[in-house]
C-alpha cells in the first residue's frame, strides 16, 4: 500500500501523466491541511490562527501556493488531454457522456477550488498591506501577483476575501458529498484496495473448495464431503456471487483506461475492454443497491451481470495474460471477475465456445488438449 497507493509507483510507467498526477495528488492532499485553519478561523473569529508558528507558517503558506499552482496546471493539461488532444485511452464504447462529464466536472471543480484559495490569499495579503501592518502574516509568493486585479478599498477587499473563503469552504464540502457518486471516489478507496490486493504470482487462480471436495470423493471412495445447507454455486453469474474485493475493485476504478490500453484482445479489435468490465460491475451493484433502498431487500429482477451487462463474447476474448491488472495503478483485477463469469458459464451452464469444448473433449479422451491418441503423445521426441 505504501509503495503503490502512497508512493504512486505504478503511475511512473507513463511519465507525463505521473508528473501531472503527482502535482494534483500532493496538492490536493497537502493543501487541505489549510482547511483546518480556514474552518477554525471561521468558528473562532480569528485571523490566521496558526500564524504563531512564525517562519514555519510562512513556509507552509508559500508551499501551499506553489502546490496550488501545480494542481491548476495539472488539471488544465488533463482537461486539454481529454477534450483537445483526445488521448485514445480516454475513449471507448463504455465511455458514454456521463463518464466524460464526470471527469471534466472533477477537473473543473479542482481548478475552481485552487483559484478560490489563491484569490482569498491575494485579498487578505492586499488588505494587510493597505492597513499598513508592520508585519504581513503569511508568505504569498503567487497570490501577491494577483493583487493588481483587486480593488484598493479595504471594505471591498474584505468582502472579496470573505466571498472566496465561503466559496472554498462550501466547494470542498460539496465536493466531498459528490465523491460517492463519482469515479473520484478512488482518492479514498485506492488505499484499502491496494492493501487488500492479491499478492500471489500473476496468473495463479484459486481452487474452488467445492470442486476440491468432489475430486477427493472421486479419488477416495471412503471420503465423505462435508454437508452444507447452502446451494453450491460454481463461478459467478451476478455481482452477488462475486467476492467483496471484486466489488471494492469496481468502486475504486477511476476509468483511466490503462488496462484497456494494454489489453491484447482490445488492441486486436476484440469486444473486450477491462475498464468496461469494472464499470459494468459497478453499474450492476448500483442497480441492485437502488432496489434494496426502495424495497428493503433484493428481489430477483431477471437481470444478471453476465449477459445483461457483460456479454459472452467479452469474457471469452480474454487471453488471461493479466496485462490489465499489471497496468492498473491501484491493483484492480478485472481478470478475476472474467474468470468467475467463465466458471459459471462452463460449470453451471455447460456453455463454452466450440474450440474450448473440443479441448475439454480431448483432455477427457486423450489426456491432452490435442486431438491424438495417448499412445502417440511422446512421438514429438523422435524428431529431435
Confidence of residue 134 (pLDDT cuts 50, 70, 90): low
Residue that has been written with the C-alpha cell 517562519 in this structure: 55
d(CA 128, CA 61) in angstroms, rounded, equals: 15
307-354 residue pLDDT tens: 999 999 999 999 999 999 999 999 999 999 999 999 999 999 999 999
Question: 375 versus 258: which is more confidently predicted?
Answer: 258
323-333 residue pLDDT tens: 999 999 999 99
**Residue 151 confidence (pLDDT) above 70:** yes
R_g of the chain, CA atoms, integer Å: 28
d(CA 178, CA 106) in angstroms, rounded, equals: 9
pLDDT > 70: what percent of the chain?
98
**Residue 202 confidence (pLDDT) above 70:** no
CA distance readout (Å), 47 to 143, 150, 155, 240: 18, 20, 16, 52
221-226 average pLDDT score: 85
Domains located in the chain, CATH noted: 2-181 (no CATH), 198-352 (1.10.1060)
CB atoms within 10 A of CB 90: 19
d(CA 215, CA 212) in angstroms, rounded, equals: 5
Cβ atoms of residues 275 and 92 within 8 Å: yes
CA 121 to chain centre: 33
Cβ atoms of residues 117 and 64 within 8 Å: yes
**Residue 229 confidence (pLDDT) above 90:** no
pLDDT, position 208: 82
251-308 residue pLDDT tens: 999 999 999 999 999 999 999 999 999 999 999 999 999 999 999 999 889 999 999 9
64-114 residue pLDDT tens: 999 999 999 999 999 999 999 999 999 999 999 999 999 999 999 999 999
Write the Ramachandran bin of 54: left for phi over 0, alpha for psi from -120 to 50, otherwise beta: left
pLDDT, position 15: 93
**Residue 376 confidence (pLDDT) above 90:** no
Could you give the count of Cα atoms lying within 13 Å of 1 in the half-sphere of its Cβ?
A: 10
Amino acid at each position: 500500500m505504501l509503495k503503490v497507493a502512497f508512493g504512486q509507483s505504478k503511475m511512473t510507467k507513463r511519465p507525463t501523466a505521473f508528473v501531472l498526477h503527482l502535482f494534483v495528488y500532493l496538492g490536493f492532499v497537502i493543501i487541505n491541511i489549510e482547511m483546518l485553519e480556514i474552518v477554525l478561523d471561521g468558528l473562532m473569529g480569528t485571523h490566521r490562527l496558526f500564524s504563531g508558528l512564525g517562519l514555519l507558517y510562512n513556509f507552509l503558506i508559500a508551499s501551499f501556493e506553489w502546490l496550488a499552482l501545480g494542481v491548476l496546471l495539472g488539471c488544465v493539461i488533463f482537461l486539454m488531454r481529454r477534450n483537445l488532444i483526445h488521448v485514445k485511452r480516454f475513449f471507448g464504447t463504455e465511455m458514454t457522456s456521463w463518464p466524460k462529464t464526470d471527469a471534466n466536472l472533477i477537473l473543473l471543480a479542482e481548478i475552481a477550488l485552487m483559484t478560490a484559495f489563491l484569490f482569498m490569499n491575494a485579498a487578505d495579503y492586499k488588505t494587510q498591506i493597505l492597513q499598513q501592518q508592520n508585519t504581513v502574516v503569511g508568505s504569498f509568493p503567487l497570490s501577491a501577483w494577483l493583487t493588481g486585479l483587486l480593488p484598493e478599498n479595504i471594505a471591498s477587499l474584505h468582502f472579496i476575501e470573505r466571498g472566496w473563503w465561503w466559496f472554498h469552504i462550501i466547494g470542498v464540502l460539496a465536493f466531498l458529498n459528490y465523491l460517492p457518486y463519482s469515479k473520484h471516489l478512488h482518492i479514498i478507496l485506492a488505499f484499502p484496495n491496494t492493501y487488500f490486493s492479491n499478492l500471489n504470482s500473476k496468473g495463479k487462480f484459486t481452487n474452488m473448495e467445492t470442486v476440491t471436495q468432489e475430486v477427493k470423493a472421486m479419488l477416495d471412495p471412503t471420503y465423505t464431503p462435508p454437508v452444507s445447507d447452502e446451494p453450491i454455486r460454481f463461478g459467478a453469474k451476478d455481482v452477488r456471487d462475486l467476492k467483496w474485493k471484486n466489488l471494492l475493485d469496481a468502486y475504486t476504478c477511476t476509468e483511466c483506461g490503462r488496462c484497456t490500453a494494454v489489453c491484447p484482445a482490445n488492441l486486436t479489435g476484440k469486444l473486450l475492454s477491462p475498464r468496461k468490465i469494472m464499470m459494468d460491475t459497478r453499474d450492476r451493484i448500483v442497480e441492485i443497491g437502488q432496489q434494496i433502498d426502495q424495497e428493503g431487500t433484493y428481489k430477483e429482477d431477471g437481470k444478471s451481470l453476465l449477459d445483461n451487462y457483460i456479454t459472452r463474447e467479452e469474457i471469452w476474448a480474454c487471453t488471461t495474460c493479466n496485462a490489465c491488472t499489471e497496468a492498473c495503478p491501484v491493483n484492480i483485477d478485472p481478470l478475476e471477475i472474467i474468470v468467475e463469469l467463465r466458471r459459471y458459464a462452463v460449470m453451471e451452464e455447460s456453455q463454452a465456445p466450440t474450440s474450448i469444448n473440443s479441448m475439454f473433449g480431448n483432455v477427457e479422451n486423450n489426456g491432452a488438449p490435442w486431438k491424438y491418441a495417448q499412445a502417440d503423445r511422446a512421438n514429438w521426441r523422435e524428431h529431435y
